[in-house]
Amino acid sequence: MTRTLFDLAGRVAVITGGGMGLGQAMAIGLAGAGADVAVADLDIAAAAETVTQIRALGRRACAIRCDVAKPDDITHLFDQIDEELGPVEILVNNAGLGSHTKPEDVSLAEWQQVIEVNLTGSFLCAQHAGRRMLPRRKGSIINISSIGGATSLGRGNFAYGIAKGAVIQFTRDLAVEWAKHNVRVNAILPCQFRTRG
C-alpha cells in the first residue's frame, strides 16, 4: 500500500529514536516505501531489532547507538551512515525526552536535558543532514514535535511542551531558509500512542 502512495527506492533515511514505539513504526514504514534506513537509538539492542525487521523487507539498514544530546555522537552517526549506506536524503528527528515536573519544581539540570534532547539534538541532526542535502539540492527533514508544542497540556508537561513548541518554530524557520535549496522541512505533532512498555 505504501509503495502505491510514494516510492522511496534508492533513498537513504535516518531516524533517531527508531528502536521502539512510534520511531520503530516510522522506520519500518520508510523501509516499506523502499528506503534504506539507519536506525539511531540510545538502546542499540532495540535499534538492532528494528534493523532486523527492515532487512526482512529486503532493504539495507544499520543500527547506530546515538545520544542526540551529545554532539560527538551525532557527528559519528552521520559519518557512519555515509560509510555504510550513503548520503542521507531523509531525516526523521524523532528522539525525544518527556518531563512531568511542575514549573516550580523543574531543576535547571532537568530543563537543560529536555531542551538538549528535544530541541538541540534536532537542530544538530538537521544541520548535519542539511550539509549533505543542500549541495545535492534534495532532501526532506521531518521533525517530530507534539500536540503539547501547540497547546498547554498541564500536568507537569512544562519543559517538554516548551521544547516541542520550539521545535515547531525551528521547523518553520528552517523550512524558509532551505526551501530555495529544494530541501523540505516539516513537523508532525502526534498526540499519545499506546506503545510497548
The residues assigned a catalytic role are 160
Name beta bridge partners: 188.
144
Beta carbons of 190 and 146 less than 8 angstroms apart: yes
Within 33-157, residue ranges assigned H as helices are 44-55, 71-84, 108-115, 121-133
In angstroms, the CA 148 to CA 116 distance is 17
Measure the N-to-C terminal CA separation of the chain; round to a whole number of Å.
Answer: 29
The CA-atom distances, in angstroms, between 160 and each of 76, 100, 104, 109, 128 are 27, 8, 14, 13, 24
